[in-house]
Amino acid sequence: MASELKSKELFEQARQYAYEYIDGIHEMGVSPSEEHIKNLSHFDEVLPNQSTPAKEILQQLHTYGSPATMAQTGGRYFGFVNGGAIPASLGAKWLSDVWDQNGGLFYTSPINAKLEAICESWLKDIFNLPEETVAGFVSGTSMANLAALTAARYQLLKNLAWDINADGLNGAPAIRIIAHEQVHSSVKKTLVILGFGVNNIEWIASDDQGRLLLDQLPKLDNSCLLLLQSGNANTGAFDNVDKACDLANEAGAWVHIDGAFGLWAAASKSLSYLTKGMEKASSWAVDGHKTLNTPYDCGIVLCRYPDALITSLQATGEYLVYSEQRDPILYGPEMSKRSRAIEMWAAMKYLGKDGMDEMITTFHTRAKQLESGLRQLGFKMMNEVVFNQVLVACATDDATKKVVAYLQNSGEIWLGGTTWNGKAAIRVSICSWQTTEADIERTIAAFGKAKDVV
């Protein structure tokens, strides 16, 4: 191993393979072919007794692994709101992978701790959040939601004179969970993990775009956790967080905003109206690896109540040595963790405010271009394209499902099927810096061919 580290031949081999992948991303199928999936059988083997040469391992990965990837860093992958990867951020990740930092404490990685502090400051600026807000850098919005709602549970029980850290949940006062019908599945999962249970949610009706109906809100109090969305996963619609937060804050309730991809609309001058009033919430969850186009994985929990976040996620141990600097372990659930802030810092510094504005606004521009083209083809629009999500359907559910299957198997583009208001639908998420006008034209042509075939 020492000789491989010294010679650098292995890393040159990896670099060559990486460049081949980058150079071919626009021509490779967006999804793997049946042959490429079948070739994954080359990985089926018992664990060998003897060592395998490292160069053979990389060759196997590139030969059979690269073709079996989803080309989400290209311009025609539109599934699951997975963003691309900005070169500056990807390069920073490559370098930091060599550093192999454990980002839990300042003493385990001073550079990560420093860049977390910088990113926290920049995020508060971009999102116009209260100065007291703190940020934790986690794997994604699912974990960010978990951290935020853990803090909410701690604070709401504290409001009711109950210390969950000391006394646990047995016998604790009831917390009221207020959520609308379109709350994301990751939020439901979080509520289950935290012991609330989905049957205890007070469900509120949504409109036809998936926005909370404010006039359906019950009377709130300081035992309430109100869950809002900035960017519905299907339609891209934004809740009226401005008025909802006013009502909740007057009652002393906790407001959490799941803004996995939509919170970044605040960085666009023309789209920031969608997030009006978001600074009035108690906590927020957002991904860097979606709209900001950092490499995977990169999620952020933001909380305006540092004591609630830190205390609810406390970590103690004789071997833990805290510093007078920022110790990232205090702001998330992980003790050992990847140093995600490094590539986030690189992405934000590279883009700057103007670059973020341009990139995020362009996602919307491309979505409107796609909307126009699909309308001309006769597809039924099922949403108001307010951000980057386009939701369409055919005349029947059967035809819609066949179009989805055709497009997913075509290799030309990849997108997801979904259900909206009881109807089958096609969900297109535009969130890669690589997506060009030409990519959208190719996508429209693919839709047209799919419609003709089915």
Per-residue pLDDT tens digits for 249-300:
999 999 999 999 999 999 999 999 999 999 999 999 999 999 999 999 999 9
Contact 426, 400 (CB under 8 A): yes
Mean pLDDT, the chain, rounded, equals 96
Q: Are strands 380-381 and 389-393 parallel, antiparallel or unpaired?
A: antiparallel
Q: Specify the pLDDT at position 167.
A: 96
What is the token pair recorded at 373?
Answer: 């083209």
pLDDT band at residue 102 under the 50/70/90 scheme: very high
State the Cα–Cα distance between residues 84 and 392, nearest whole angstrom.
23
Q: Specify the pLDDT at position 255.
A: 98
For 110, half-sphere exposure in the C-beta direction (CA atoms, 13 angstrom radius) is: 2
pLDDT band at residue 413 under the 50/70/90 scheme: very high
Q: Among 3-7, 342-346, 394-398, 425-429, name the one with the lowest average pLDDT.
A: 3-7
Q: Are strands 134-138 and 299-303 parallel, antiparallel or unpaired?
A: antiparallel
What value does the mean pLDDT take over residues 104-109? 95
- Measuring CA to CA, which residue among 253, 249, 250 is closest to residue 224? 253
Round to the nearest angstrom and report the end-to-end CA distance of the chain.
Answer: 55
What value does the mean pLDDT take over residues 335-345? 95
Q: Specify the pLDDT at position 314.
A: 83
pLDDT band at residue 1 under the 50/70/90 scheme: confident
What is the token pair recorded at 268?
Answer: 């666009």
State pLDDT tens for residues 165-221: 999 999 999 999 999 888 888 899 999 999 998 899 999 999 999 999 999 999 999
CB atoms within 10 A of CB 168: 11
Output the furthest CA–CA distance in the chain (Å, rounded).
69
Structural domain spans, the chain: 2-71, 92-347
Q: Specify the pLDDT at position 321.
A: 85
State the Cα–Cα distance between residues 329 and 332, nearest whole angstrom.
6
Assign a CATH topology to domain 92-347.
Aspartate Aminotransferase; domain 2 (3.40.640)
State pLDDT tens for residues 300-321: 999 999 999 999 998 676 778 8
Q: Specify the pLDDT at position 2.
A: 84
What value does the mean pLDDT take over residues 413-433? 97
